[in-house]
Amino acid sequence: MAEKERRQLRRRCQMIFQDPYSSLNPRMTAMDLITEALAYHGLLDGRSREEAAAELMHEVGLDRDGIFRYPHEFSGGQRQRLSIARALSLQPDFIVCDEPVSALDVSVQAQVINLLLDLRAKHQLSYLFISHDLSVVRLIAHRVAVMYLGHIIESGSCAEILDAPLHPYSQALISAVPTPGKDRRQRIVLAGEMPSPAAPPPGCPFHPRCPQAMPICRSSMPAESKRGEHSVRCHLFTDAARSVT
């Protein structure tokens, strides 16, 4: 893409990082952090940077009194709200949320998640929400993709994946979620350790730990099998594996 095209794409796609402390420049005030991209793209629309920062801080639940404070003068939850305000400043269509609440206390997590849900509805945003916390995924996601060792092994609607998973790894992952009144013996405990992504095993990357592995899993990467909108990469659902067995 040409530089002009890349600039437009960057404006439409923003990111909220996992650690708000390391992703915010400690030498910049809240006002400078939030309005830097607005000034670069010429989107202040006659407002001063102070006015623009105050509007964005109000939208994410921060007082305008903090516009001249530095990141270390905010709490963890407030810093993440600053990160959200910075991502929101260019009015993007799409925001990548990379574990945006995992570094926060549980009570603060709930506040930030509610803020993200409100902003999504208000601005018609699309999120790519990366998380290991399935309770958060259930709350915020419409569609879910489960990854193992860099591969998407199963995808579908939130209800399909979390209530009726097909892939053995998805089943083990969801069985580990604590549920009041659930028999602990129902949990699927996987043997071994995850292989190195730099040296993945041949065939299906999950086969060394899979309790249902077949000989074909050790030599061949499974093709994608579809059941409506629900797709899975597992030899348990491929015609080739069924013909061998």
pLDDT at position 137: 93
Report the topology of domain 3-140.
Rossmann fold (3.40.50)
- Residue 155: both structure tokens together: 């995808």
158/141 Cα distance (integer angstroms): 6
Query: In terms of DSSP H, where are the helices of 13-127?
Result: 20-23, 30-41, 49-59, 76-88, 106-123
CATH 3.40.50.300 positions along the chain are 3-140
∠112-157-232 over CA atoms, to 5°?
Answer: 125
Side-by-side strand order, sheet with 151-157: 143-148, 151-157, 230-233, 224-227
pLDDT at position 241: 53
Positive or negative torsion for Cα 66, 67, 69, 73: positive
pLDDT at position 214: 94
119/123 Cα distance (integer angstroms): 6
Query: In terms of DSSP H, where are the helices of the chain?
Result: 3-12, 20-23, 30-41, 49-59, 76-88, 106-123, 134-140, 158-163, 168-175, 239-244
- Each of the 245 residues of the chain gets a pLDDT tens digit; together they read 898 898 888 889 999 999 988 999 999 999 999 999 999 888 998 999 999 999 999 999 999 999 999 999 999 999 999 999 999 999 999 999 999 998 888 889 999 999 999 999 999 999 999 999 888 999 999 999 999 999 999 999 999 999 999 999 999 999 888 777 766 557 888 988 989 989 999 999 999 999 999 999 999 999 999 988 999 999 999 875 555 55
pTM of the model: 0.87
217/203 Cα distance (integer angstroms): 6
pLDDT at position 183: 63
Element (H, E) at 143: strand 143-148
pLDDT at position 185: 56
- Residue 7: both structure tokens together: 């600039």
